[in-house]
Amino acid sequence: PTSFSYEFDTAVYKGKTSFPTGVFINNEFVDGADGGTIDVINPTNGSLITKVSEATAKDVDLAVEAAQKTFDAVWGLNTPGKDRTDLMNKLAVAMEACADELAALDALDNGKTFGWAKTMDVPLSIELIKYYAGWADKIHGKVVETSEDKFTYVRQEPIGVVGQIIPWNYPLMMMCMKIGPALATGNCIILKPSEFTPLSALKMCTLVKEAGFPPGVLNVLVGYGKTVGAAISSHKDIEKVAFTGSTVTGRSIMEAAAKSNLKNVTLELGGKSPNIIFNDADLQQAVDWSFFGIFWNHGQACIAGSRIFVQSGIYDKFLEKFTEKTKTIKLGDPFASGTYQGPQVSNIQHERILGYIKSGKEQGATVHYGGEPYNGDGYFVNPTIFVDTKPEMKIVQEEIFGPVCCVIKFEDEADDYTDVIKQANDTSKMVLPLLYLSSKLIRGVLCGLLVYGLGAAVFTKNLDRALKTAHKLKAGSLWVNAYSTVNASMPFGGYKQSGIGREYGEEALHNYLNVKAKPPMDGLRDP
C-alpha cells in the first residue's frame, strides 16, 4: 500500500495520522520500480513502524525525466518568481496546519522528543520555507555599465534538475533547508531522505501537492545511499547535488560528481566543535548553553559542542554545575511529557557511540559521569562526560554524534590564548596528505583523521577577548555566549573538511543559480 496510518496515544499528542509510503514522482505516490520495501524502525523499542517503497536507480531515471519535462515546460523560467513565492507561502501555511503531525512523525522514526520537534524542528522548518518564499520574487541579475553605448547585463538562471541527499538527524528541517532555496530559484528537485527517517518527508509531499506545486517540481525517493544516493550523485542529467551527512560519504559523492558530469556540489559534513569557556564567563550562562550545545538532539548534531575547553580558574565550578544539570536529563519515550532525551536514531549509531565510550575508557580518559550502557530496550545512550582526556584520544579527535562530551581544562594566561586556540583548531593534519585518495580501506581510516571546522563558541564577558579569539577559530559558525543557535537568514556551513559552500541565508540561493553574462559586443576587439 502507498499509505499507512499510525495511532499516537500519549498524554502529549493524541491522534491518528496517516502518511504515504510510496515513491513520490510527478505528484503521485507509486511503488518503486523494483517493487522492494524498506523497514522503518521505531528506535524507542526496535519495532517495525511501517514499510515504505524502496526506490532504486530506475526510479531516479524516471524522476529526472519527469523533473526535466516540468522544468522545461512549466517551472524554471516559465513560472514568475511571484508565483513561486505564493506557492511556497501556501506550503508554509499547510505545514502550520499539521505542525503536530509533522513533529510526531519526526519523533516517531528519529526518536527525538515530540516536544523538541514541535518547538524547534517544525517552527524552524516553516521559517525556512517562509524565508525562501520571500526571496523567490527577488532573484534578479544586474546591468553592468561597461560603456555608454553598450547594453551589458548578468542574469541569474535556475540550474535545472537538482539532487538533494539528506540525513536522519533533523529529517524535516534538513528537507526544508534544502528545498527552500532550490524552489525559490525555480529548480526541480530529486530528494532522497535518509532510509532511517523518511516519514516526515513523505508527509511533506502531500503538502507540496496540496499547495499546488506542478507535478515534477519535487520528487522524493526513499532509498539506500549506495543505490539512490549514488545514482543521484552520478546522474548525467542532474546538474547539481547538495548533501548533508558524513564526511566520508561526502567525499564519495564528490568523486561521483567529478566522474560523471562534473555537477556542482555543496556539502555540509561532520564536526568536532570546540566550545571555549574563559574564567570571566557568566558561569550559569556557560553551563546552560554548553549543556544545550552537546545534549540537544541527543548529540546528533553536526555542530554539537563536544569538546568543552574550560579555563582552570572556573573549571571545577563549571564541571560541578554542568554535571548537576546533566544528571537532570530524563531518558525515555519521546512522546512522554518531561522526556529530555529519546533513543539514538538506529542500532548502528547506538553501537557506534558505545564503541567511542569504550575507547575513551581504554585510552585512559576518566568517565566523570555516565558511561554505562542504558538498562532497558531501545537505542538509548546515557549522557556521558569524560575528563582527563589527551588531545590524541579518539573521543577528542572524532565525531561521536551522541550525548558524549569531553570537558578539557586549559591554563593559558597569555593574552592571545594561543594554546587553547591551537587545541580548538587542532586535528590530525600530518597523516592526511599521505593517505588521501588511496584505497577504500584507507578512506575508512580517514574517517578518524578528518580536519573539521563547523562550529565554535567562546564564553567571556570581555568583548575584546571574545572577538579576538572567535576570529581565530576556524569554523563556519561562531557563537559568543551562546551555542547551537541557528537562523534561516544566517549562512551555515563548514571550513576545512566540514563542508563546501553554505546553506541557509542568501548564500544558499547561489547554490541553485547559474550566472549568465551578456558582455558588450566589442569586448577586447571589434570583429
Task: Give the residue numbers marked as catalytic.
Answer: 268, 302
In order of 247, 457, 483, the CA distances from 324 in angstroms are: 34, 22, 19
Residue 7 backbone dihedrals phi, psi, to 5 degrees: -95, 125
Nearer to ligand TXE, 178 or 203 (CB): 178
Q: Which of 206, 233, 425, 511: binder of ligand TXE (CB under 6 A)?
A: 233
| Binding-site member from 16, 82, 138, 226 for ligand TXE (CB under 6 A) | 226
Please choose, from the candidates 312, 277, 278, the residue with its C-alpha nearest in 3D space to the C-alpha of residue 291: 277
Q: Out of 21, 79, 219, 244, point to the residue binding ligand TXE (CB under 6 A).
A: 244
Within a 13 Å sphere around the CA of 109, how many CA atoms are in the beta-carbon half?
32
Q: How far is the CB of 245 from ligand TXE (least distance, A)?
A: 3
Taking contact as CB under 6 A, which single stretch among the options 109-117, 243-251, 435-443, 513-521 is the one that binds ligand TXE? 243-251
Residue number with CB closer to ligand TXE (76 or 198):
198
The minimum distance between CB 346 and ligand TXE, in angstroms, equals: 8
- If one asks whether residue 128 binds ligand TXE (CB under 6 A), the answer comes out as no
Q: Which residues 331-390 are close enough to bind ligand TXE by CB under 6 A? A: 349, 352
| Closer residue to ligand TXE, CB minimum distance, 12 or 446 | 446
Q: Provide DSSP, 338-381.
A: T--B---S-HHHHHHHHHHHHHHHHTT-EEEE--SPPSSSSS--
Nearest Cα residue to 251 out of 15, 47, 451, 479: 451
Residue 59 or 100: the one with the smaller Cβ distance to ligand TXE is 59
User: Does 302 participate in binding ligand TXE (rule CB under 6 A)?
Assistant: yes
Q: Does residue 484 belong to the site contacting ligand TXE (CB under 6 A)?
A: no
Would you say 139 or 301 has its CB closer to ligand TXE? 301
Closest to ligand TXE by CB, 440 vs 525, is: 440
Handedness of CA 497, 500, 505, 506 (dihedral sign): positive
Strands of 286-354 (E only): list them.
Answer: 307-311
Taking the complex as a whole, the smallest distance from the CB of residue 302 to ligand TXE amounts, in Å, to 3
Q: Does 246 bind ligand TXE (CB under 6 A)?
A: yes
Q: Give the per-residue SS3 of 52-89.
A: EECCCHHHHHHHHHHHHHHHHHCCHHHCCHHHHHHHHH
The verdict on 241 binding ligand TXE (CB under 6 A) reads no
249 part of the interface to ligand TXE, by CB under 6 A: yes
184 vs 400, beta carbon nearer ligand TXE = 400
> Please, which residues bridge with residue 28 across strands?
25
Minimum CB distance to ligand TXE, residue 90 (Å): 28
- Minimum Å gap between C-beta 269 and ligand TXE is 5
CA distances from residue 250 to 176, 265, 266, 465, 514 in whole angstroms, order as listed: 20, 9, 9, 35, 23
Quick check: 109 binds ligand TXE (CB under 6 A)? Answer: no
What minimum distance in Å lies between the beta carbon of 170 and ligand TXE? 8
Q: Which is closer to ligand TXE, CB of 192 or CB of 496?
A: 192
Segment 164 to 223, residues that bind ligand TXE, using CB under 6 A: 165-167, 169, 192, 194-195
Q: At what angle do helices 463-472 and 418-425 cross, to 10 degrees?
A: 40
First to last CA, the chain: 65
Q: Contact region for ligand TXE (CB under 6 A) — 90-98, 262-270, 304-312, 324-332? A: 262-270
129 binds ligand TXE (CB under 6 A): no
Residue 79 to residue 73: CA distance in whole angstroms: 9
Distances from the Cα of 178 to the Cα of 162, 167, 187, 238, 356, angstroms: 10, 11, 11, 15, 31
Residues near 114 by beta carbon (within 8 Å), at least 6 away in sequence: 10, 12, 13, 103, 104, 107, 334, 335
User: Could you say which of 101, 399, 412, 503 contacts ligand TXE (CB under 6 A)?
Assistant: 399
| 230 sits near ligand TXE (criterion: CB under 6 A) | yes
Binding-site size for ligand TXE (CB under 6 A) equals 27
Assigned C-alpha cell, 152:
551589458
Which residues would be at the binding site for ligand TXE (CB under 6 A)?
165-167, 169, 192, 194-195, 224-226, 229-230, 233, 244-246, 249, 252-253, 268-270, 302, 349, 352, 399, 401
